[in-house]
Homo-oligomer: A and B are copies of this chain.
């Protein structure tokens, strides 16, 4: 009985979240669309985003179908249910990305119009509502997808088909297909979007600003719309997909670990379904938080936004304690969820220390980097890189402490120490991600305001409207810094939970050759070799992405030059450039650069397990987490620090040289170099690693029965 209640809570809160998102979407659509000029500019971005989606989803569709067929074939048992779950996971992820992109591109002109007619407050309302459509949508889709799939397969599959594996374990193995679909699509959205946006950015600047001296975002530039589309593609759809897939993976990992406890200890309630309840409560807390974000007339929106996040967090903490007590469970489960929340806040805070102009006390990395920029470009690059390295320290310690603490208290649950402990680590991940609806709402708001500002400028709206957008933008940046840290923390702890889920699955799925829980003995050379292999996956993937941006921008630069050469009317402003062409190049190029890396990651994961065995595969996952975490934090934070170094030099608070003097230009040029290096760091390679780690962890877990089979066949060769 409690099972159905749990499922209903998950499904119900997910559906509620989606319905409210749709309701808010209608409110946003009813807002004034602004002047004709605003509509014109904004429509171009909207159409561009659709072009991107069309091309990307066509390729993704083919990819998904081929992979689904392969899955249906290679799995001896349940190939078709897994393939169906995988396809549904991909589709759900695509829908989430699509909705985010649509609402963001439709909301920018409406935000612009509200800023022009009503000022700060109405503009904030439109932008934040649009952001919350994305936030509540991804939270809702995750819940609805996971619960309804589990429920469906549970109802439809008779006990008689579960011959090889225990029912409970196999059901979650099937649902893993959903998470795998979500993550592969997220990888394309995040890394593909990252290549797309930096390709457009770099190419537009190089041909437009440097070669033809036309201003940034000038509509004569064939890449201008691609550039604006890129902001939405990378920041809204990409970040949304990243958090969405971490959330799905965290819930799934907790469910797999819970299923192990259910199987071995038959607790009073289902520990596999409990994470769905917690995630559902987090979503309800997010919905309440979203409705509480209502600034009073001319109030600074920044604190309001943060207050919304704080309230959501507190509400979730209260809800989780209440439900755990209500169910008569051990309070440590709720405490673990809260530990996860704290870890997320801590990582966000320390990332902010390394990337903001404030620093912490006397430790001020970014102001130090401003001084370095005065010396030479090399000094700025070196200090940014060194501070980026240093920024890894607090986050990793935070993650390690959260993991050890939740494991330690989970060990007191009364089950097997490992299973109880590791379940609580997974619950910490679920807790950290529980408020993702609210976090994403305040994050997606940033790029919408940013785009609105561009629309206002190009539509020559009044100065006050620009001023209002600037103010909104500033508070958006703080929210963004928090989200970046949140995303890294969320994916790291989720990946650690997935790592444990993989170990648990080797047991619950009765994998041949594994007796009890897998022992991943790092002192065994095959495990160490697996760890070495795993450690280089994020390294090579980052290299491919960065080189991909460079190669892709070469193609796009050629196209922009071709348009300028063949149609002199473009530069004169009499002929419209072919925006679509540039968007097409950025999109197909992004996917072309990304596809090999993604396939390699999946194939190498399976091959490592098949050749070196499951212990080595677990070592591989561990190695990937270690190096991935370091590279992601290094690149995200160094990139953010270089970006803010440039911003400080451009701001009035930089008083060392007067704006426009030779010295100022020298320092500014150097800071631009830093920012250009940082762009693919923080917007392409760094954040994509999060999703990559989830993808390879899920590959290992999903294909576990296949890999075990392949390994037996492989060692049989000798």
CB contact list, A308-343 vs B, under 8 A? none
* Nearest residue, chain B, Cβ from A527: B522
Q: Are B382 and A677 in contact (CB under 8 A)?
A: yes
Q: Are B524 and A418 in contact (CB under 8 A)?
A: yes
- Residues of B with C-beta under 8 A to A383: 546-547, 550
Q: How many copies does the complex hold?
A: 2
- Residues of B with C-beta under 8 A to A503: 523
Known contacts: A522-B520, A523-B520, A546-B382. The answer to whether A393 contacts B680 by CB under 8 A is: no
Q: Are B523 and A680 in contact (CB under 8 A)?
A: no
Q: Are A523 and B517 in contact (CB under 8 A)?
A: yes
Which of B377, B499, B626 lies in contact with A377, CB distance below 8 A? B377
Among the listed stretches A279-287, A445-453, A535-543, which one makes contact with chain B, having 4 or more residues with CB under 8 Å of it?
A535-543
Among the listed stretches A22-30, A97-105, A245-253, A397-405, which one makes contact with chain B, having 4 or more residues with CB under 8 Å of it?
A397-405
Tell me if A183 counts as interface (CB < 8 A to partner B): no
Taking the closest CB of chain B, its distance from the CB of A498, in whole angstroms, is 12
Tell me if A421 counts as interface (CB < 8 A to partner B): yes
Interface residue range, chain A: 35 or more
- Residues of B with C-beta under 8 A to A550: 372, 379, 382-383, 386
* Nearest residue, chain B, Cβ from A379: B550
Most buried by B among A389, A392, A618, A619: A389
Which of B382, B392, B397, B403 lies in contact with A528, CB distance below 8 A? B403
- Residues of B with C-beta under 8 A to A526: 404, 407
Chain A 481-523, CB-CB to B under 8 Å as 1, else 0, gives 0000000000000001001100100000000000001111111
Tell me if A627 counts as interface (CB < 8 A to partner B): yes
Q: Are A385 and B546 in contact (CB under 8 A)?
A: yes
Q: Are B525 and A382 in contact (CB under 8 A)?
A: no
Which of B518, B525, B539 lies in contact with A392, CB distance below 8 A? B539
Which of B401, B517, B523, B680 lies in contact with A499, CB distance below 8 A? B523
Q: Are B619 and A539 in contact (CB under 8 A)?
A: no
Taking the closest CB of chain B, its distance from the CB of A480, in whole angstroms, is 22
Q: Are B626 and A543 in contact (CB under 8 A)?
A: no
* Nearest residue, chain B, Cβ from A381: B677
A404 to B619, CA, bound (A): 14
Most buried by B among A520, A629, A680: A520
- Residues of B with C-beta under 8 A to A533: 396-397, 400
Q: Are B382 and A618 in contact (CB under 8 A)?
A: no
A378 to B670, CA, bound (A): 10
Q: Are A421 and B525 in contact (CB under 8 A)?
A: yes
A416 to B500, CA, bound (A): 30
* Nearest residue, chain B, Cβ from A524: B418
Chain A 412-439, CB-CB to B under 8 Å as 1, else 0, gives 0000001001100100000000000000
A386 to B544, CA, bound (A): 7
- Residues of B with C-beta under 8 A to A673: 376-378, 381, 673
Tell me if A676 counts as interface (CB < 8 A to partner B): yes
- Residues of B with C-beta under 8 A to A397: 533, 536
A500 to B524, CA, bound (A): 9
- Residues of B with C-beta under 8 A to A386: 542-543, 546-547, 550
Known contacts: A404-B529, A521-B520, A525-B421. The answer to whether A381 contacts B381 by CB under 8 A is: yes
Tell me if A200 counts as interface (CB < 8 A to partner B): no
Q: Are B536 and A403 in contact (CB under 8 A)?
A: no
A524 to B378, CA, bound (A): 42
Besides A390-B539, A520-B523, A535-B626, 15 more A-B contacts (Cβ < 8 Å) are A382-B680, A383-B546, A386-B547, A387-B547, A400-B533, A403-B528, A403-B529, A404-B526, A517-B523, A519-B521, A522-B622, A523-B618, A528-B622, A532-B629, A623-B626
The 8 lowest CB-CB distance pairs between A and B, nearest first, are A378-B676, A389-B543, A520-B522, A386-B546, A407-B525, A400-B529, A390-B543, A386-B543
Q: List 16 A-B contacts (CB under 8 A).
A: A381-B677, A382-B550, A382-B680, A393-B539, A399-B532, A401-B529, A404-B525, A499-B523, A519-B521, A519-B523, A520-B521, A522-B619, A531-B626, A623-B626, A627-B627, A673-B673
